[in-house]
């Protein structure tokens, strides 16, 4: 099958932009709980206010803006847009296959992000209320397992990113 390049200068520029995007093994640390504080008073229905949970927070915006495995950025959207632009310059570029693989991995990452956040809150509240039990220790193990699963997905995404760059390098320096 003949592959046609339309504009090699544009393609080179797109590749340079694509290379700016990275993956980073963050272990979803932004979901970690730093502190739990008791809130005084009641809400409008007279129910005691729940404690406030303070999370570690996000990485810097500049860092997240190029990290394609972050669930809290648009970096992946921009990365996939670049892939689509590249597919307009190279016929038969496997853009749909790449984007589906990226989306599948990100779906897993996003689900782990939400699950870890919930478990971290549950764990922190158990400590706050001095309800440290066997269930509490199970939460700790489950959080650790989620971090390992996340690491695996990030590694798979990084391998995919490298594969895309390698495939693209066949056509442009």
Tell me if 117 sits within 8 A of 31, measured CB to CB: yes
Predicted pLDDT at 109: 96
Calpha distance 63→1 (Å, rounded): 40
When pLDDT is averaged across residues 61-68 and rounded to a whole number, the result is 93
Neighbours of 31 (CB within 10 A): 24
Calpha distance 143→28 (Å, rounded): 10
Asked if pLDDT for residue 117 goes beyond 90, the answer is: yes
Q: What region does 24 belong to: left with phi over 0, alpha with psi -120 to 50, or beta?
A: beta
Q: Tens of pLDDT along 126-171?
A: 889 887 788 888 999 999 999 999 999 999 999 999 999 999 988 8
Q: How does residue 5 score in pLDDT terms, banded at 50, 70 and 90?
A: low
Q: What is the pTM of this model?
A: 0.87
Predicted pLDDT at 14: 92
CA 168 to chain centroid, in Å, comes to: 24
Neighbours of 160 (CB within 10 A): 17
Neighbours of 143 (CB within 10 A): 19
Q: Tens of pLDDT along 10-63?
A: 888 999 999 999 999 998 989 888 889 888 877 778 777 788 888 898 888 898
Predicted pLDDT at 1: 38
For the chain, which residues make up each domain, given as ranges? 8-169
Which CA distances in Å does 64 have to 21, 26, 40, 75, 151?
Answer: 10, 11, 35, 7, 17
Asked if pLDDT for residue 6 goes beyond 70, the answer is: no
Neighbours of 105 (CB within 10 A): 23
Asked if pLDDT for residue 3 goes beyond 60, the answer is: no
Comparing 4-18, 69-83, 104-118, which segment has the lowest mean pLDDT? 4-18
Neighbours of 24 (CB within 10 A): 15
């Amino acid at each position: 099958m003949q592959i046609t390049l339309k504009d090699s200068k544009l393609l080179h520029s797109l590749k340079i932009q694509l290379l700016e995007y990275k993956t980073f093994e963050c272990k979803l640390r932004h979901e970690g709980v730093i502190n739990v504080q008791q809130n005084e008073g009641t809400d409008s229905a007279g129910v005691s206010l729940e404690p406030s949970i303070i999370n570690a927070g996000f990485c810097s915006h500049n860092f997240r803006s190029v990290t394609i495995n972050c669930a809290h950025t648009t970096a992946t959207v921009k990365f996939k847009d670049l892939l689509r632009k590249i597919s307009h310059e190279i016929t038969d570029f496997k853009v749909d296959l790449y984007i589906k693989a990226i989306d599948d991995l990100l779906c897993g990452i996003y689900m782990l992000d939400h699950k870890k956040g919930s478990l971290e809150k549950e764990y922190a509240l158990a400590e706050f209320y001095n309800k440290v039990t066997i269930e509490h220790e199970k939460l700790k193990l489950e959080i650790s397992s989620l971090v390992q699963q996340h690491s695996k997905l990030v590694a798979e995404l990084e391998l995919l990113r490298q594969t895309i760059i390698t495939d693209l390098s066949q056509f442009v320096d």
